[in-house]
Chains A and B, each alone.
Chain A
């Protein structure tokens, strides 16, 4: 099971209820195929950064769901066929989410450590050294040896 995010643009001149119906339809189809919908977000009408099929704006819909890879294929086929969809993008986000969580955990841990080691006088030196050791490749200033 993977987590995906589908962002697609609906033509601005489609009636609201029709668009809603379409989104609903897509959702039911996904759930029947074994996915769970995590999030549905309608951003409303936005200006497009460039013209697509002579449209300068479109309404964005964001759909987040958990499911298998073959679901995406079907969903993309469906979006491609649908007349009202201008463009879509599918992004797999479970790995990024995992990475972010990890980062956050490390950050929290470090913050907690800093909070506990703060009272002693030698506190400022120790955490910074530790930070340097863990973050060496990320810091652009370090590699320069005078």
Chain B
């Protein structure tokens, strides 16, 4: 129960990934629950040409932001990674930036 920080590999323990308020343990920190931006704003189309949108889900070095950080839901993250990878292919987004 209290080993919430221990293993990132056990995916079954944290299906949501975002909202962790450890209540049982000593450390009691509260984090705001993350919500999927695509669900909330009802963005249906995650297009690889929409660089402005995709830029928000790419880290500084060009890496795709994991959904445990961005809070995007799984179906949307799947679409998002597809789009980002397509955009990378046609040089709209970097594979790895700032060399």
Near A by CB (< 8 A), chain B positions 11-67 give 15-19, 33, 35-36, 39, 42, 44-45, 48-49, 62
Chain A residues lying within 8 Å of B62, measured Cβ to Cβ, are 49
- A49 near B94: Cβ-Cβ < 8 Å: yes
- The docked-state distance in angstroms from the alpha carbon of A49 to that of B97 is 8
Q: How far is the CB of A137 from chain B (nearest CB, A)?
A: 7
Q: Which residue of B lies closest to A86 (CB)?
A: B91
Count of CB-CB pairs between chains A and B under 8 Å: 61
Q: Is the CB of B91 within 8 A of A52?
A: yes
Q: What's the nearest-Cβ distance from chain A to residue B98, in Å? A: 11
Asked if A58 is at the interface of the complex by the 8 Å CB criterion, the answer is yes
Q: Which residues between 124 and 146 of chain A lie within 8 Å of chain B, taking CB atoms? A: 137-141, 143-144
B91 adjacent to A143 (CB under 8 Å) = no
Q: Give 1 or 0 for each of B84-99: 1 = CB within 8 Å of chain A CB.
A: 0010111111110100
User: Which listed residue, A49, A50, A103, A143, touches B15 by the CB 8 Å rule?
Assistant: A143
- Which of B44, B49, B91, B93 gathers the greatest number of chain A CB atoms within 10 Å? B91
A88 to B62, CA, bound (A): 21
CB distance from A99 to the nearest CB of B (A): 8
Given contacts A49-B97, A140-B74, contact A100 B39 (CB under 8 A): no
Q: Is the CB of B74 within 8 A of A104?
A: no
Kindly state the separation between the CA atoms of A58 and B91 in the bound complex, as whole angstroms: 10
Which residue of B16, B49, B95 contacts A140 across the interface (Cβ within 8 Å)? B16
Q: Which residues of B contact A109 (CB under 8 A)?
A: none
User: By the criterion CB–CB under 8 Å, are B48 and A91 in contact?
Assistant: yes
Judge if B75 is at the interface, Cβ distance under 8 Å.
yes
Cβ distance A58 to chain B, nearest Cβ, rounded Å:
7
Assess whether A49 is in contact with B91, with CB atoms less than 8 Å apart.
Answer: yes
Proximity string of chain A (36-60) to chain B, C-beta cutoff 8 Å, 1 when within and 0 when not = 0000000000001110100000100
Query: Which of B15, B44, B73 is most buried by chain A, counting CB atoms within 10 A of its CB?
Result: B44
Cα distance, A140 to B39, chains bound together (Å): 10
